[in-house]
């Protein structure tokens, strides 16, 4: 790949962090020295490709070392084409093959890795075997792996598990009330997801509050196309809303969230759906999209709800109800709450959602300064003066945290 402009030589190790989500694929190139810094660093290059439906159009944005934004639209026939389209547009691509390490967020690696690990054949097979449990994510992550190998042959590649942050949850929180053989034989238990985001935003909120993370009871709300909550105490996750797959928990953009198992049995037994079609509907046609009949995009839901659309209004209300109820459950697991943290696309940008969620949580000491929140720019505290628990907005920096975790492992290995 030809450079677009002269690049200064890197002063530290280069990490290309890749993050495939349910409606986007993001990547960023970080230069990380030794010792690995705690504070997030600016990327030498970063980009994202996002879509609403595939086949269809996708928006591609990128920013290079000159901090100039580039925006374009491309057509995607398959979601697995997205990583290649984005990475092929990357400035400083030659630095990846020369000095870089690629690190990929893996949503569901089964019961495989707790910390960043080198991508080997056995690791890849574990990711492939868990694809049915995270169909929107694992195939996209592996497409990112293949795109890196194709564009920059020989580049070292690592994975970071998105469940690792929740790995030591208490058994009472991670165990399903099903025959114990299900866990022994198939590893079925509550794994939790969005761990990279929850871990980062909990640590970042402690920094903002000027207190050690281990001294705080923190509820983090990762609200995007996929949504989950987590409870952090003594610096570790003790509870979360997602389970063995990213389908459990809150209502999401297109995913149903928690559902009475009897409903699925009813539909299967009566031949209304087969397993594949039911999986598709619960992952792609439910959540905000299913309730509203319009869209899984919260921006569209808010706009049409304000215009009086009953389906959008109900979708918004269900979403808020689930989040508010979940916060109460997380606070109960913690035995109180010191900080409530919003992150993710909805969490950071949707003032109406934050306002509605926090309304009614006064019994937990949560009170929002509505005027401050309406003009908030993360990272910031938007609590009212009367609040005993702080409400924070933290920008999701998953690509930075992916790169940082891998850099820490390499730093320890070389010590």
- The string of pLDDT tens digits covering residues 273-314 is 999 999 999 999 999 999 999 999 999 999 999 999 999 999
Domain 13-161 has CATH 3.30.420.40: yes
Choose among 11, 6, 29: nearest CA to 19.
Answer: 29
Contact 113, 159 (CB under 8 A): yes
Domain spanning 210-393, CATH architecture? 2-Layer Sandwich (3.30)
Is the pLDDT score of 6 beyond 50?
A: no
Catalytic machinery residues: 162
Sheet holding 69-76, edge to edge: 69-76, 56-63, 45-51, 24-32, 13-20, 100-106, 156-161, 117-118
Q: Give 109 or 310, the one with higher predicted confidence.
A: 310
Q: What is the mean pLDDT of residues 371-385?
A: 97
Is the pLDDT score of 93 beyond 80?
A: no
Residue 133 pLDDT class (50, 70, 90 cuts): confident
User: Which pLDDT score, from 0 to 100, does residue 126 have?
Assistant: 86
Residue 21 pLDDT class (50, 70, 90 cuts): confident
Contact 205, 199 (CB under 8 A): no
- The string of pLDDT tens digits covering residues 267-283 is 999 998 999 999 999 99
Contact 116, 260 (CB under 8 A): no
Respond yes or no on whether the N-terminal peptide bond of residue 55 is cis (omega within 30° of 0): yes
pTM of the model: 0.91
Is the pLDDT score of 66 beyond 90?
A: no
3-state SS, residue 380: strand
User: Which pLDDT score, from 0 to 100, does residue 23 have?
Assistant: 84
Please give the Cα distance from 338 to 213 (Å, whole number). Answer: 11
Q: What is the mean pLDDT of residues 126-141?
A: 84
Q: What angle do CA 383, 384, 386 make, to 5 degrees?
A: 120
Share of the chain above pLDDT 90, in %: 74
Pairing mode, strands 24-32 and 45-51: antiparallel
Is the pLDDT score of 31 beyond 70?
A: yes
Is the pLDDT score of 414 beyond 70?
A: yes
Is the pLDDT score of 1 beyond 60?
A: no
- The string of pLDDT tens digits covering residues 75-89 is 889 999 999 999 998
Please give the Cα distance from 225 to 239 (Å, whole number). Answer: 21
User: Which pLDDT score, from 0 to 100, does residue 267 have?
Assistant: 96
Residue 34 pLDDT class (50, 70, 90 cuts): confident
Assign residue 222 a region: left if phi > 0, alpha if psi is -120 to 50, beta otherwise?
beta
User: Which pLDDT score, from 0 to 100, does residue 73 have?
Assistant: 87
3-state SS, residue 106: strand
Domain extents for the chain?
13-161, 210-393
φ, ψ (nearest 5 deg) of residue 45: -155, 145
Is the pLDDT score of 376 beyond 50?
A: yes
- The string of pLDDT tens digits covering residues 248-262 is 999 999 999 999 999
Contact 250, 259 (CB under 8 A): no
Is the pLDDT score of 149 beyond 90?
A: yes
Q: What is the mean pLDDT of residues 147-156?
A: 92
Is the pLDDT score of 411 beyond 60?
A: yes
User: Which pLDDT score, from 0 to 100, does residue 410 have?
Assistant: 86
| DSSP secondary structure letter of residue 364 | G
* Identical topology for domains 13-161 and 210-393: yes
User: Which pLDDT score, from 0 to 100, does residue 108 have?
Assistant: 81
Q: What is the mean pLDDT of residues 153-176?
A: 94
Is the pLDDT score of 388 beyond 50?
A: yes
Is the pLDDT score of 141 beyond 90?
A: yes
User: Which pLDDT score, from 0 to 100, does residue 11 have?
Assistant: 58
Helix count and strand count (H, E) for the chain: 16, 14
- The string of pLDDT tens digits covering residues 201-248 is 999 999 999 999 999 999 999 999 999 999 999 999 999 999 999 999
Residue 68 pLDDT class (50, 70, 90 cuts): low
Is the pLDDT score of 352 beyond 70?
A: yes
Is the pLDDT score of 407 beyond 90?
A: yes
Mean pLDDT of all residues belonging to the chain: 91
User: Which pLDDT score, from 0 to 100, does residue 10 have?
Assistant: 53
Tokens 């997030």 belong to: 40
Is the pLDDT score of 2 beyond 50?
A: no
Beta pairing partners, 233: 217, 236
Is the pLDDT score of 110 beyond 70?
A: no
């Amino acid at each position: 790949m030809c450079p677009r402009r002269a690049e200064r030589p890197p002063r530290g190790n280069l990490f290309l962090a890749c993050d495939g989500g349910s409606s986007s694929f993001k990547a960023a190139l970080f230069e990380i020295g030794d010792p690995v810094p705690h504070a997030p660093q600016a990327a030498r290059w970063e980009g994202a490709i996002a879509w609403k439906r595939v086949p269809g159009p996708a928006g591609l944005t990128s920013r290079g070392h000159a901090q100039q934004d580039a925006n374009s639209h491309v057509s995607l026939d398959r979601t697995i084409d997205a990583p290649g389209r984005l990475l092929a547009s990357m400035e400083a691509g030659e630095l990846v093959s020369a000095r870089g390490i690629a690190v990929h967020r893996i949503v569901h690696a089964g019961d495989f890795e707790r910390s960043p690990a080198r991508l080997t054949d056995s690791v890849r097979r574990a990711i492939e075997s868990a694809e049915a449990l995270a169909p929107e994510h694992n195939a996209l992550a592996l497409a990112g792996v293949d795109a890196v190998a194709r564009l920059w042959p020989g580049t070292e590649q690592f994975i970071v598990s998105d469940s690792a942050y929740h790995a030591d949850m208490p058994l009472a929180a991670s165990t399903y009330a099903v025959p114990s053989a299900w866990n022994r034989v198939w590893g079925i238990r509550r794994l939790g997801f969005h761990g990279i985001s929850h871990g980062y935003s909990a640590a970042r909120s402690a920094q903002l509050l000027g207190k050690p993370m281990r001294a705080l009871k923190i509820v983090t709300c990762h609200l995007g196309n996929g949504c989950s909550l987590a409870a952090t105490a003594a610096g570790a996750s003790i509870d979360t809303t997602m389970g063995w797959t990213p389908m459990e928990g809150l209502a999401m953009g297109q995913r149903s969230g928690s559902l009475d198992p009897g409903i699925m049995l009813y539909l299967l037994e009566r031949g209304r759906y087969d397993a594949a079609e039911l999986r598709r509907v619960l992952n792609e046609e439910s959540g905000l999209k299913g309730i509203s009949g319009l869209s899984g995009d919260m921006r569209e839901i808010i706009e049409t709800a304000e215009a009086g659309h009953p389906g959008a209004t109900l979708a918004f209300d269900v979403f808020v109800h689930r989040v508010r109820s979940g916060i109460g459950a997380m606070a109960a697991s913690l035995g109180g709450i010191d900080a409530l943290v919003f992150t993710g696309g909805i969490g950071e940008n949707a003032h109406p959602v934050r306002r509605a969620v926090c309304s009614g949580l006064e019994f937990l000491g949560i009170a929002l300064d509505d005027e401050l929140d309406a003009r908030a720019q993360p990272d910031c505290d938007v609590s009212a003066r009367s609040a005993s628990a702080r409400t924070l907005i933290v920008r999701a920096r998953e690509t930075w945290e992916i790169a940082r975790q891998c850099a820490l492992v390499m730093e320890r290995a070389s010590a």
